[in-house]
Structure 1
Amino acid sequence: MQTYMFPIKIAFITFPFLAFLFTFPFVIYQYRKHGYINKFRILILYSFLLYLIVTYYLVILPLPKTRDVRSLQSPDTLYYQLIPFNFIFDFIKETKISLSDPSTFKNILKERGFLQPVFNGILLTPLGVYLRYYFRKNLKETLLITFLFSLFFEITQLTALYGLYNAPYRIFDLDDLILNTFGGFIGYMIAPIFTFFLPKPSKLDKDIDLEKINVSYFRRFLAFLIDWFIIGLIPNIKDTILTEAAVVFVYFILIVYLTNGKTLGKSLLRIKIKGGNEKLYFKEVFIRYALLYYGIFGFNKLIFEVIDINRNEFFNYIIIIMLIAVVINIIIFSHVLICMFRKDKLLFYEKISNTKNVTISPK
């Protein structure tokens, strides 16, 4: 049992890091497909990610202590087992039970000949449940996907973890393919028992009105990061303040006006800027982003430029400017925190410009 607990423990340790890497593409995909983030869908998909990590680690861990695995093996070591249902013969040969003595039956729970086939049988059983319940696959699709998963694991073992070691440290076993696929079949058949009290995936978005959903600050910030990543690809953009100001004008004001509220980041996350009417006015866009980028961000950039220019000097007015900047930024930060708990969540530059972020409904 300790052999199985070690990979599971490592999976739980590494899950937060892998989940973090998974979060951004996952969030973008969810916004693109559904227009919002459903908390239950998050729970299902992250549990599925954890299951995949645990399963993979159970297949590859523990790792050998040396990459020269071949030196630890005899010359006649076989790296594959191609006889179907060989596990039955192993069970008969290895288990110490007597059909005429029921008291020996309890020993079966300690026998490798029993535990290993059972483990291989239940390894992909949860996959069958996920495939039927959430991904809505039929039986044939479930069997095919489960078989391919199992084949991937066996190839991983046969290739010595894709060439990381000079010889396989686990064998390619045809019985594993059979038992894993059978486990997926069992999972498919028992899925309704486990998911009876869960909402149907097809109805998760049934009563959602995207037009009434407030665009979260996280969604807005993610779009902001994508936009500034794209802008950062422009060469020499930060050579001068005027160059950066011109790029901001073109990208966040001119393009947003011409596209009726969209940037590349906002389009990717299916949101846009909306004014008082269906058609966004240039005045609304200009006021919004002039206050945000030329006002808030421009002010801070100018302060840092002044401090950088006078970094070798000490002037009282520099200290005063820094204190003013700190106070102004504390006020802005407090304003954002307060707005996070308001129903409309509109920041001051949005109210002044009469603009807001709205969700783009799928066509």
Structure 2
Amino acid sequence: MLSSYLESIRTGFAAFVGVGVLVLLPLIALHYHRFGRVEPRRAVVLYGLLAYGLVALALIFLPFPSSLVCDGETMLSTRPFQWVTDMRHNLAANGRSGLGAVVTSTAFLQQAFNVALFVPLGVVLRKSYGRGAFAVVAIGLGISLAVEVVQYTGNLGVYPCPYRIADVDDLISNTTGALVGWMLAPVALVVPAVPHPDASTAPPHTVTVPRRFAALMVDVVILIVGTHLVFGDNLWWLVALTVAIRVVLPSATGRTPGGWLLRYRLGRADGGRANPPRVFLRELLGVTGLVTYAAVAPSEWWFALDLCVLAFVVLGAFAVPVFRRDQRGWPDLLAGTRAVPAAGRSRTAPLAPVPR
């Protein structure tokens, strides 16, 4: 029995990995549409529920039968706690008794598994979404009932008859598991609470990562075309042009060409004008630093060092900001800068601090 469970768990987790990759970009798009960023606690809970749901479904329905003989056997049990009677008969037939025999019997382990299967559901419903005991019991019962209906109908008609018994004891065990999860939720420290939408949404004057990334692409096109047409792909000219576009221009005007097109400027953390040292530090830790490193680093340097530099820039400038309300990455945080919408703002007028 344990080996079949482990195989189902592996199958469910493999399905989660595949589905998780497929829904990653739609999830990011949905979060940005609703909140203007990816709220990490919401994302963790959503992906956790996805993993839990797929593994649970695999445990409930797998393995699918390769062939099925419908002999008219009743695949429905409507007598509550029938498992207790079946366990007693089995123990008596095998001459076993005592607590050890009970807790190691197949019938008891099956019901314990059914309880444990729904414990995570109760934990998440209370800890992450603040549901009360009645709501958790109702949701657990509803989901368990839906599973039993699917099983009794041969997976909604896929099979000519059920291959697993639809059992009222499963309803009782699953619902009990959800309630146990509700009671255990306060000590489930690894499960985050989903914040209120108002605490998840980026402030209206925040320049989002997709907007900044689009502006960067504009700058990159200018750098590539300018270097190729004018300077013949010379890396040092690429560095010089990058410094001019990404450091000199923002220091003088607050904007790169991409920032001008996407209507935002580079400012201090409070929204005021960023001085040249701040801009220089930001770019040294960001795109300009990466371009300079690519130009000066000898080809025989460690590949691992190249990956570390690339990861620092990509994660720090684009991955970390996705999860922050103020959309600031490591370069902005260390330099005390951030992107500020240009429309309707004075170049030197400070803004209220943006929540993290």
Answer whether TM exceeds 0.5 for this pair. Answer: yes
Q: 1:151 is matched with which residue?
A: 145
Matching residue of 2:36: 35
Q: Percent identity?
A: 25
Return the alpha-carbon distance in structure 2 between the equivalents of residues 62 and 16 of structure 1: 19
Distance 1:129-1:348 versus aligned 2 partners, 3 A rule: same
Q: Is the aligned partner of 1:8 residue 2:1?
A: no
Is residue 127–residue 187 contact of structure 1 (8 Å, CA) maintained in 2?
yes
Counterpart of 1:187, as a letter, is: G
**Would the alpha carbon gap of residues 23 and 176 (structure 1) be closer, same or farther in structure 2, given more than 3 Å must change?**
same
Instruction: Name the counterpart of 1:90.
Output: 86
* Distance verdict in 2 for CA 1:2–1:215, change over 3 Å: same
Q: Are the counterparts in 1 of residues 86 and 107 from structure 2 also a CA contact under 8 Å?
A: yes
* C-alpha distance in 1 between matches for 2:153 and 2:212: 45
Partner-residue secondary structure (3-state), 2:161: coil
Unaligned runs of 5+ in 1: 225-287, 301-322
- 1:190 counterpart letter in structure 2: L
SS in 1 for 2:188: helix
Output one character per residue of 1:212-261: Cα deviation in whole Å (capped at 9) or x when no partner: 755114x777xx8xxxxxxxxxxxxxxxxxxxxxxxxxxxxxxxxxxxxx
Change beyond 3 A, Cα 1:18–1:208:
closer
What's 1:236 paired with?
none
Amino acid aligned to 1:147 = L
1:77 counterpart (73, 83, 98): 73
For the 8 Å contact 2:36–2:202, the answer to whether it is kept is no
Contact (CA 8 Å) 1:36, 1:210: kept in 2 or not? no
Q: For 1:124, what is the secondary structure of its paired residue? A: helix
CA RMSD of aligned residues (A): 4.4
In the aligned structure 1, how far is the partner of 2:262 from the partner of 2:159? Answer: 62
Matched with 2:118 is 124
1:215–1:358: 8 Å Cα contact kept in structure 2?
no
Equivalent pair of 1:211/1:358 in contact (CA under 8 Å)? no
Sort the Cα spacing of 1:41 and 1:160 in 2 relative to 1 into closer, same or farther, 3 A. same
**Structure 1 pair 162–347 and aligned structure 2 pair: CA distance change class (3 A):** farther
- The answer for unaligned runs of 5 or more in structure 2 is 265-338, 342-353
**In structure 2, C-alpha distance between the alignment counterparts of 1:27 and 1:159, rounded to whole Å:** 37
When residues 220 and 191 of structure 1 are mapped into structure 2, their CA distance, relative to the original with a 3 A threshold, is: same
Q: Deviations over 1:313-334 (max 9, x none)?
A: xxxxxxxxxx759x77x969x9
TM-superposition CA deviations, 1:252-274 (whole Å, max 9, x none): xxxxxxxxxxxxxxxxxxxxxxx
Q: Distance in 2 between matches of 1:19 and 1:207?
A: 22
Structure-2 separation of matches of 1:163 and 1:358: 57
Cα shift readout 1:280-330 (whole Å, capped 9, x = no counterpart): xxxxxxxx8xx959x959x99xxxxxxxxxxxxxxxxxxxxxx759x77x9
Task: Give the conservation status (yes or no) of the 8 Å contact 2:34–2:201.
Answer: no
Q: Distance in 1 between matches of 2:192 and 2:46?
A: 14
CA contact (8 A) 1:87 1:113 kept: yes
Q: Provide the residue aligned with 1:64 in structure 2.
A: 65
Residue 167 of structure 1: how far off its partner (Å): 1.7
Q: Given that residues 95 and 114 in structure 1 are in contact (C-alpha distance below 8 angstroms), is that contact kept between their aligned partners in structure 2?
A: no
Question: How far apart are residue 100 of structure 1 and its match?
Answer: 10
Please tell me whether the aligned partners of residues 11 and 57 of structure 1 are also in contact (alpha carbons under 8 angstroms).
yes
Does the Cα contact within 8 Å between 2:152 and 2:164 map onto a contact in 1? yes
Distance in 2 between the 1:17 and 1:220 partners? 29
Aligned to 1:201: 194
**Number of residue pairs matched by the alignment:** 257
The residue identity in structure 1 corresponding to 2:80 is P
Q: Does the C-alpha gap of structure 1 residues 13 and 122 become closer, same or farther in structure 2, counting only changes over 3 Å?
A: same
| TM-score when normalising by structure 2 | 0.59
CA displacement at 1:54 relative to structure 2? 0.8
Which amino acid in 2 is paired with 1:355? R
> CA-to-partner distance for each residue in 1:84-126, whole Å, 9 max, x for gaps?
1212212212236999965xx4344442111111111111111
Shift of 1:38: 2.3
Task: Read off the aligned partner of 2:30 and give its amino acid letter.
Answer: Y
Q: TM-score, normalised by structure 1?
A: 0.58
Q: Is 1:349 equivalent to 2:263 in the alignment?
A: no
Is the Cα contact below 8 Å between 2:75 and 2:152 reproduced in 1? yes
Q: Distance in 2 between matches of 1:173 and 1:201?
A: 34
SS at match of 1:10: helix
- The DSSP-based 3-state class of the residue aligned with 1:201 is coil
Q: Aligned partners of 1:46, 1:354: CA distance in 2, in Å?
A: 32
Q: Given that residues 148 and 166 in structure 2 are in contact (C-alpha distance below 8 angstroms), is that contact kept between their aligned partners in structure 1?
A: yes
Deviations along 1:167-203, whole A, 9 cap, x unmatched?
Answer: 21101111111111111111111111214x7664347
Is residue 2:41 matched to residue 1:45?
Answer: no
Structure 2 CA distance for partners of 1:14 and 1:199, relative to 1, 3 Å: closer
Q: Does the residue aligned with 1:31 lie in a helix, a strand or coil?
A: helix
Pairing 1:1-363 to 2, within 5 Å after superposition? 1-66=2-67, 69-70=68-69, 73=70, 75-95=71-91, 102=98, 105-195=99-189, 200-202=193-195, 206=199, 210=203, 213-217=206-210, 292=218, 296=221, 348-353=256-261, 355-356=263-264
Rate the CA distance shift 1:81–1:41 in 2: closer, same or farther, 3 A.
Answer: same
Change (3 A) 1:206 1:133: same
Quick one: which amino acid aligns to residue 116 of structure 1?
Q
